[in-house]
Amino acid sequence: MTELLPLVNQALTPFFAREKLWLAYSGGLDSQVLLHLLWRLREQASIAETPFPILNAIHINHQLQSPAGTWAAHCQRQCADYDIPFTLRAVDVSGRRRGIEASARDARYREFEDVLREGDVLLLAHHLDDQAETLLLRLLRGAGVSGLAAMPIRRTLGSGELFRPLLDVPRASIEAYAKEYQLSWIEDPSNTDTHYRRNFLRQRVMPQLAEHWPDYRVGFGRAARLQAEAAQLLDEYIDADLCAMTADDASLDLISLAGLPEIRQRAILRQFIIKRSGLALASAQLDTIVSQFSAARSDSQPEFRLAGGSVLRVYRQRLFFGPASQVAVAPDGEWDIGRPLIIPGVGCITAEPEGDFVPRGALEIRFRQGGERCQLAGESHSRSLKKLLQEWQVPPWQREALPLIYCKGELAAIAGIAICEGFRAQLGESGWNIRWEPEALT
């Protein structure tokens, strides 16, 4: 039998200096064993008078089965026995368009993210059999390299991290540990319902595999690790390409992209979309987006709306990601140039010393109403702000949310772009450098 305590102790060593560990505690066999292991490690640290993180457990009540409340109470009692703080969160996954399994997972992870603070680590009790099932499920869905990496042992989650210390441990070893220490756990009757795909694999397919390939779990685990390495290497190459083609405004240069082989174009576009949107798009939807923008003409301005109110747009053969619509409301009162000004839903204006802009009176922030004119510093006449914004190639949807800085009713500067005549620092004057950071405009 695998000696689980030293294995978990070694796996968690990098996290012992953290302030807090959270256990995702369902009360089932796997999380019950991990709870017991963590309790033993904490007890050992206490006896040895060595530091150990604050240990917490979180239980998610999905409210999908009638005994769910009883299960939550069982988990709370178990944690009380081990003197481990217990957090209970109830979620509602009814009425979701996605499948019950996917909706429950999404709701669960939202709660996990909500409790994690910077530096916190969430521990999950997934094991080697879970990894094998995940790999096979994704293979059956036609996943690519990243999908076939299955479950990562470690990744960021909200403000903290997620870690799976038992991912290389077969379920048989976990069962043997539970038997040795006479642990009690919750048996979820839905785990035997082969209507669910994972249960079908677990109950019908995996036993057949084990008859002919007894070590299939180890082989699947190794395959997942190799896919994870390949995915990481591929991401690094694509990220380098993406960085080279990304402008300061975070837009993607479609002209440079067009000079690459088609397979490379598609990979870079996929990476751009996924990194900007954070959405797990279906392959068919992603392929539609890639085809639409890779074929965009020089004079076209196609758009593609994504879930969550965001949109992909092309302007002057550059691809932008941002909100579908934006309502810019000018803040009331004067702007104290020495303090950052956050404009909700729009962005933040800051000013740093030793720049070229000199206020010559009280400042206020406005947005375009139409008909504005601007005499740029050093020029002898004013010009239409509309034409200037076109000349500066500011995308149309960003123009209405670009802050205009007024001084005593006179246009003094366009935030982050230009300074108007009369407001540029003269010899011996100390000015400010105005910075404009849009909120998800690109």
* Confidence at residue 269, expressed as pLDDT on a 0 to 100 scale: 86
Q: Is 26 annotated as a binding residue?
A: yes
* Confidence at residue 442, expressed as pLDDT on a 0 to 100 scale: 40
DSSP 23-36: EE--SSHHHHHHHH
* Confidence at residue 231, expressed as pLDDT on a 0 to 100 scale: 93
Query: In sequence order, which residues have a C-beta less than 8 Å from that of residue 3 and are 6 or more positions away?
Result: none
Q: Is 31 annotated as a binding residue?
A: yes
Q: What is the pTM of this model?
A: 0.76
DSSP 394-417: --HHHHTTS-EEEETTEEEEETTT
Write the CA distances from 34 to 41, 124, 140, 175, 195, integer angstroms.
Answer: 10, 8, 30, 12, 28
Query: In sequence order, which residues have a C-beta less than 8 Å from that of residue 346 and are 6 or more positions away?
Result: 326, 328, 329, 401, 403, 438, 439
Task: Measure the CA–CA gap between 232 and 230, rounded to whole angstroms.
Answer: 5
Write the CA distances from 141 to 17, 134, 159, 216, 226, integer angstroms.
Answer: 40, 11, 30, 20, 19
Q: Is 193 annotated as a binding residue?
A: no
Q: Is 27 annotated as a binding residue?
A: yes
Task: Measure the CA–CA gap between 341 and 129, rounded to whole angstroms.
Answer: 52
| Per-position pLDDT tens, the chain of length 442 | 568 999 999 999 999 999 999 999 999 999 999 999 999 999 999 999 999 999 999 999 998 888 999 999 999 999 999 999 999 999 988 755 567 778 888 899 999 999 999 999 999 999 999 999 999 999 998 888 988 999 999 999 999 999 999 999 999 999 999 999 999 999 888 878 888 888 899 989 999 999 999 999 999 999 999 999 999 999 999 999 999 999 888 889 988 988 888 888 888 988 888 888 877 666 677 777 777 776 666 666 778 888 777 888 888 888 888 877 666 778 888 899 988 988 887 888 998 988 899 998 899 999 988 889 988 988 889 999 999 998 888 888 888 888 999 998 899 999 888 999 989 988 888 899 999 888 754 4
Q: Is 28 annotated as a binding residue?
A: yes
Q: Is 30 annotated as a binding residue?
A: yes
Find the length of the chain: 442
Task: Measure the CA–CA gap between 283 and 147, rounded to whole angstroms.
Answer: 11
* Confidence at residue 275, expressed as pLDDT on a 0 to 100 scale: 86
Task: Measure the CA–CA gap between 258 and 268, rounded to whole angstroms.
Answer: 11
Joined together, the tokens standing for residue 439 give: 């909120």
Sorted by where each starts, the structural domains of the chain and their CATH numbers stand as: 4-206 (3.40.50.620), 245-323 (3.30.465.60), 341-438 (no CATH)
Secondary structure element (H or E) that encloses residue 107, with its range: helix 100-115
Contact (Cβ atoms closer than 8 angstroms) between residue 65 and residue 221: no
